[in-house]
Amino acid sequence: ARVLPVVCAERKARFNLKASRKSRVFRRSAEIPQTQGVPTPEVVAIHVSNVVSIQRGSELDALKKLSTLVYDTKHAANEAAALGPQAATVSPSVLLHLLSTNHGSDVGSIEGALVYEACAVENFAGYSEDVRHDCVLDKAFCNLAAMMASRVTGSVSVEVVEATNDADFICAKALRMRDMLLELGVDVGARVLFKIPCTWQGVLAVERLEQQGVKCHVTQVYCLEQAAAAARAGAALVQVYVGRTRTWYQKHPIAAVHNNLGDAPDAGIELVKQVASLIRDEGLSAKVIAASVKSKNDALALAGCEYILMNERVISTLNESLSASDGDELQDGFKHGSAPVVGEVMEKVFAAALRNSPGAEELAHALDVNAAADAKLKQFIANYSGSLV
């Protein structure tokens, strides 16, 4: 029987951790998966920002009165910042980033998962080694999510990576991860969102999960039909991408006309407004988070959106600029928008909407990136497991 050195008792108790950072997991740099070709995390958690305080009377100060501002960073450190309550996301890219940088105590999330008894081969009778690797990876996500929940005051979004893109498998994975988080003492209902791409199967899964009290963060939303389907399914949070949407429609102006975005000065901003208006007009409970915010002008145009995700460059620019308004003008420009009527969204309508918007291309790219990161992590798990035989 192998004996692995035991580290901090607290980490062992929380994450079933039996291997230290000095163990063979981290001694062999060749075993650490490389992140080439896999983008760094889009949102990991709040990191110490150069914006240590919000300048009174600045555009950042005015914007904060109207929207919850979230700091978009690729660092895994979590510290309180001037923006207020913060959130975190756990994904394959995040774990790869931690392994490649050997980042602090956070690497314990995967160490503990490697020796988690419930993922042992004998507990998967009739299943393949790949299934065990999948279990280990889910456990690592949950370990890291528990760490994040102890450091941020907002929600932690845990990415549900399911290669088959099948509603049954997505639900099964999310429910297993929910149970793992409950084992770690995390208040899942209050603190955790399960992040699911807005494919048709993803929407079906969201509806089932929300009916069981599992809150979902629907991502990769690029058209109104996606947003309508997700919000009507009960999603807690819908993430719309401003810059990516704008860039795509600049290259496909005819599609903008067909999607009621042709008359808008900015298709990305207009889509966020339409999504928010549809949710409000239909009395749905979903919140909207605007991502891919490229400039301070984007941010100001989004004032009134429930959540705005911004990088440090945009935040700093807003903080250095004095506001010409107390915020009322910004609020009026967003809250009084309208949305085209969206009828019942069935699978064929959903698929057509994806083809005629950035949705199809962006979803395919996002799923490929997650699959590549997921494969690298599973290879790491396989290499480590094999080295102990």
H helical segments located in 16-72: 24-27, 59-64
CA 305 – CA 63 distance, rounded (Å):
10
CA 298 – CA 63 distance, rounded (Å):
12
Strand pairing class (68-71; 88-90): unpaired
SS3 (DSSP) at 197: strand
CA distances from 201 to 38, 130, 168, 349 (A): 24, 22, 9, 14
Strand partners, 307: 68, 289
Q: Which two tokens stand for residue 271?
A: 């889509």
Is position 18 annotated as part of the catalytic site? Answer: no
CA 195 – CA 218 distance, rounded (Å):
6
Active-site choice (64, 139, 195, 376) = 195
Rounded to the nearest angstrom, the gap between the alpha carbon of residue 100 and the centroid of all alpha carbons in its chain is 20
351: Cα within 13 Å, side-chain hemisphere = 4
CA 111 – CA 102 distance, rounded (Å):
12
Spatial contact of 216 and 160, defined as CB atoms under 8 Å apart:
no
CA 33 – CA 48 distance, rounded (Å):
27
- Which are the catalytic amino acids? 195
